[in-house]
Amino acid sequence: MTALARPEQAEVEASVEQLLHVGEDDYTVARMSSDDAGAFVAAGRALGGVQPGERLLLSGEWGEHPRYGGRLQVKGCERVAPSTVRAITLYLGSGLIRGVGPRLAHAIVSHFGEQTLKVIDAEPERLREVVNIGAIRQAQIVEAWAEQKSVAELMVALQGFGVSPLLATKIYQSYGHDALRVLTTDPYQLVGRVRGIAFHTADRIALRSGVPASSGQRIEAAVVDRLEAAAAGGGHCFLALRALVAQVSVLVEQDEEPIRRAIDALHAERRVVVEASMTDASQAVVYGKQEHSREVALAAQLARLFQARSTLRLRPFAEDQRLHEDQRAAVNLVLTSTVSVLTGGPGCGKSHTVAAIAATVRAMGGRVTLAAPTGKAAKRLSELTGLPAMTVHRMLAQQPDLADGMLFQEVPAEADLIVVDEASMLDLQLATRLTAAIPSGSHLLLVGDSDQLPSIGPGRVLADVLSVVEIPRIRLTHVFRQAQDSGIVQAAHRIRGGELPFLPGGGGFWFEELDDPAAVAERVIHLATEAIPRKQGIRPEQVQVLCPMRKGATGTIELGRTLQDRLNPPGDDVDEHWYGSTVFRVGDRVMSIRNNYDKGIFNGEIATVTGINPRDRLTELLTDDAHKVEYAFDELDELTHAYAISVHRSQGSEYPFVVAPIVAESGGIMLRRRLLYTLITRAKTWVVLVGQREALELAVRRLGDRRNTALPHRLTILTNS
């Protein structure tokens, strides 16, 4: 049937051949094939969550599209079991059923024909009639088939609640075959356990299922949600009781009294901790259970290390006269203090000082471990000091060194001196694990720039430790001559002091003024993909786009998509896989956004997609450290594209060239002095800012929001006891 012969209103059964576009709002464009309508393109939000190989019953209106030709604007979408031999072959070979690729799918369907799905469902033992299917492969296929059916049932259940079908897979991962029961009887269990499901999603399901709005279960879930949101979104360890009650009251539209009862109940169950504020005993604060236990533990561990007698045997040593006097003071400070902090801005010689400290300790017969929170930060530390360095995670896990595959000969955390660079990136969880692993008597040196952004996770460990007067610290302030001529260093120090950089700039810093966000976005893309690579004779991969915002024309989402399509466009010979609104292609640069100890991959590590394996539903990566790793298709929310990344995620990294949009979209809510300072100091050779002068002025003028943490007070009490 040609496009012109298609009726305006239509109902058609078709298979999904390929996803062409998936939007953040689930608006999906897919290439379809049908025995009746032939090949066509379908589009609409009703297609959200569909995957290649699925058989769909679509209803909608036919129209013409200038790019795709005949297109069905979908109003309704229902998943149906494929019935023809071709449709069944496409379904089985699409990768939906783990372990079955196109070749095996063809063999199975050639043997069983139109009865294939009935055989898999009711007589799975007959699969062994097919060549190359033994007991193990049969069990894998049956398990994957059962999982796919369960996920499909969840999708149907979720349709009535306005929940993205992508979440069905995540719910199944957490609850298995019990998922449907949890979804219909206690959806608040999903909050905090299933990534992507916040309170408002579970609440919509619960209310439509008949849960009373005044339910204690509902209010308790809202309390937990607000605490988790404060930790994840604002880095807070606690909320003031008054503020928490007010937030929950708005969220659930209930009076304060039942909310306070819910908080008391959660406290009694030890799911939250309520205690007097350490700055105002007349006020109460509320912690999430984990944040409270970690903050208390971190204070105790730091106090233990601080009060311990040093095991480092001091010997006479010759001071390096090439060091500046405050660098020499830093060497002496670290040798005599079991806990100390070294801080300073760019160009002040922190890395050179660390190298001098490490060399001195080694010359005295001591053991030194250099570490940083991320792989890039550790690599940079190693390059700057000329000494081996590792991530804090690998130091704690004592995992094989990726360079030679050998285990460490000594436990890194038991060295006489442990130096942690980029310590502003340490969050509460990582700092607690780090300090717990260090034996009493070892020296801990935290190195970082206290003017940079705090960690992504809750807490502000470096700033908190610096605010405790008992902890020895030294700030390097002398800017060395070779750094004085750097426009990046000059701009950074002016911003730190609350002054606007000299505009338009020079010597590595440049500001290009544009007002319209769309024009800013296009200019950033042009600079990153064409202008800078051509002028500097480099590859586009050496230019990093950093964004203050996630959404909007100049946010990481839109800029990242455009950069991906420019630098690694789709093609018939390029394998790809859609995960929600994100498409992963072979050749993509991606970044890990979560620690995965099983894979040995940690937050912030960069890798390249080297393979897409539909049969086994795997994405194959090669990290910048030459480490091969695989992510299952349903684990891809642990990765993000690295074409345009947030300033927060760039911490600990340094790039030859940086381009960044600076606009006050949505009020420029993320524009802060620390963010701008961090952004500029990520560039090694050039940083180009494109955008509005008033947005730049706003960022310089606006100080960062303070995080709720009581670590300084706990640490002060313990160090004085």
Do residues 532 and 688 make contact, with C-beta atoms less than 8 angstroms apart? Answer: yes
Is position 350 annotated in a ligand binding site?
yes
DSSP collapsed to 3 states, 192-203: CCCCCCCHHHHH
Structure tokens at 669: 């809510």
The residues, any chain, with a CB within 8 Å of residue 270's CB and separated by 6 or more, are 289
Do residues 387 and 370 make contact, with C-beta atoms less than 8 angstroms apart? Answer: yes
The DSSP element (H or E) to which 350 belongs, if any, is helix 350-363
The residues, any chain, with a CB within 8 Å of residue 354's CB and separated by 6 or more, are 342, 370, 381, 385, 419, 421, 445, 447
Is position 349 annotated in a ligand binding site?
yes
The residue among 610, 510, 524, 537 whose CA lies nearest residue 563 is 524
The residues, any chain, with a CB within 8 Å of residue 61's CB and separated by 6 or more, are 8, 9, 10, 72, 73, 75
Cα–Cα distance measured from residue 603 to residue 592, given in angstroms and rounded to the nearest whole number: 5
pLDDT in tens, 45-65: 888 888 888 899 999 998 877
* 3-class secondary structure, 399: coil
* 3-class secondary structure, 366: coil
**Segments in the chain below pLDDT 50:** 1-4, 399-408
Sign of the CA dihedral with 530 first, then 536, 539, and 543 last: negative
Do residues 702 and 672 make contact, with C-beta atoms less than 8 angstroms apart? Answer: yes
Structure tokens at 57: 């019953």
Which residues on adjacent β-strands are paired with residue 622? 608, 628
What value, to the nearest 5°, has the Cα angle with vertex 236 and ends 232 and 238?
A: 120
- Using only C-alpha atoms, the chain has a radius of gyration, in whole angstroms, of 28
Cα–Cα distance measured from residue 73 to residue 377, given in angstroms and rounded to the nearest whole number: 48
The residue among 668, 648, 673 whose CA lies nearest residue 235 is 648
As a whole number of angstroms, the longest Cα–Cα distance in the chain is 94
Backbone torsions φ then ψ of 464, nearest 5 degrees = -65, -45
Do residues 430 and 680 make contact, with C-beta atoms less than 8 angstroms apart? Answer: no
The residue among 147, 93, 139 whose CA lies nearest residue 116 is 93
Is position 75 annotated in a ligand binding site?
no
The per-residue DSSP string of 124-135 comes to GGGGGGSTT--H
The per-residue DSSP string of 301-315 comes to HHHHHHHSPP-----
The whole-angstrom distance between residue 543's C-alpha and the CA centroid of its chain comes to 21
The per-residue DSSP string of 239-287 comes to EEHHHHHHHHHHHHT--HHHHHHHHHHHHHTTSEEEEE-SS-TTSEEEE
Sign of the CA dihedral with 47 first, then 49, 54, and 57 last: negative
Which residues on adjacent β-strands are paired with residue 43? 29, 73
Cis peptide before 504 (omega within 30 of 0): yes
The DSSP element (H or E) to which 575 belongs, if any, is none
pTM summary value: 0.86
Q: Are strands 238-240 and 284-288 parallel, antiparallel or unpaired?
A: antiparallel
Q: What is the pLDDT of residue 320?
A: 73
Q: What is the pLDDT of residue 310?
A: 93
Cα–Cα distance measured from residue 350 to residue 639, given in angstroms and rounded to the nearest whole number: 32
* 3-class secondary structure, 183: helix
Is position 347 annotated in a ligand binding site?
yes
Structure tokens at 7: 């009726």
Torsion angle, alpha carbons of 224, 230, 232, 237, to 10: -90
The per-residue DSSP string of 434-493 comes to HHHHSPTT-EEEEEE-TTS---SSS--HHHHHHT-TTS-EEEE-PPPHHHHT-HHHHHHH
Cα–Cα distance measured from residue 654 to residue 606, given in angstroms and rounded to the nearest whole number: 13
Do residues 347 and 483 make contact, with C-beta atoms less than 8 angstroms apart? Answer: yes
The residue among 183, 193, 250 whose CA lies nearest residue 223 is 250
Q: What is the pLDDT of residue 2?
A: 42
Do residues 568 and 582 make contact, with C-beta atoms less than 8 angstroms apart? Answer: no
Is position 337 annotated in a ligand binding site?
no
The whole-angstrom distance between residue 597's C-alpha and the CA centroid of its chain comes to 15
Cα–Cα distance measured from residue 291 to residue 238, given in angstroms and rounded to the nearest whole number: 8
Q: HSE on the CB side for 333, CA within 13 Å?
A: 23
Structure tokens at 630: 């695989």
